[in-house]
Structure 1
Amino acid sequence: MTSRYARLLFTPAVQRHQERNGSRRAYARMEAGGGDTDRLGPAEAAFVASRTSFYLASVGSTGWPYVQHRGGPPGFLRVVDDRTLAFAEYRGNRQYITTGNLDGDDRVSLLLMDYPNAARLKILGRARTVPLGDRGTDAGPTVPDGYRAVVERTMVIDVEAYDWNCPQHIEARYTLAELEEVLEPIRDRMARLEAENAALRKAVPEGAVPGGPGGEG
């Protein structure tokens, strides 16, 4: 956990609960440090670039939090630089809840999951929408080549802080693509074994019994 992440989320109320439950001293040490925004490192950038989905939370004027799922091929959530993320807003059900929430409060939280490897990355940031074709943004292309989707706008997120969260209780789940990657060496081994068995059957005459007449006793 970065000190910036702790400083943003460990409010006085949170600290009181940490004190009551014996974790305050350890977390207090994590808060020590500068107040600058976090910079995404190579591990964070690689993790973001390989995700095919994430969860995005915002808060509306009623005070209610709203969480939605965003998905696409690897690379649809792009690391523009070590402090900026961007992704294309594909046309969906046209409720525009997140877009409307950002008009009043630009703070968002992202949850990125890697179920096969039991890893998750939480990111805090400030989001803004950018019209298509707006040359005032350096977000660049956010739609991977060949992906069929109707893009309405680009969302750019300025990263404030992040935290690699505890992997406990993450159940291993696999997408079809991830299963193919895991099963490929198993299928290759099965194919080799089947080829070896076929060669052995061909080498032994049909009906012959190893160790029978004419063989070693």
Structure 2
Amino acid sequence: MTDPNRPNDDPANGAQAGEPVVSKPYVMPDDPEQGSVEALAKEAADARDKMLRTLAEMENLRKRTSREVADARVYGITGFARDVLEIADNLQRALDAVPPEAKAAADPGLQALIDGVELTERSLLNALEKNGVKKFDPSGEKFDPNFQQAMYEVPDPSVPSGTVVQVVQAGYMIGDRVLRPALVAVSKGGAKAAPVPANGNEPDNEA
């Protein structure tokens, strides 16, 4: 005998007798995180791009700083070296002022003075060279305006036109730069000088 007050355990309870039970389909909700993932991916890409740019800038700064430090080490004495050249010039002028015959017949006192001036000049040039400053003499070379300054021309058909036939004042290099160009006299009237090689003709002579 069935108790009329007992709940009906039939899953179809509430449906009319004889009607089939139909389950509601599961609807996948919209993904609320999709937009956030895309935004995070874009932020990550932007951050990576900024990081790479920063690293590149830091590397460029490091290279530029290293180059400036190296240049300062080599060229930091440029002003001082240029002032010292006047002393070297005066020593050379003092030696040039003594005629060859006077040197040959010099008494011991004069010879000692000449030797002292020569020793002082050599010591000064050695000190300059230790600091990257080198003297060069372009005598006999083809005139190169990058390293020499022409003071006048000398008619001389025995050498190619444009040849340095006289050095009025020696030139100096500091590192790979011209500290002071050599003052020279250039020949004219001779055969045309051979062209300078493509790699240039940097003077490396030392007096």
For the aligned pair, the TM-score class normalised by the smaller chain equals under 0.3
**By percentage of residues, which structure has more strand?**
1
RCO comparison, higher one (Cα < 8 Å, 6+): 1
Give the TM-score normalised by structure 2. 0.19
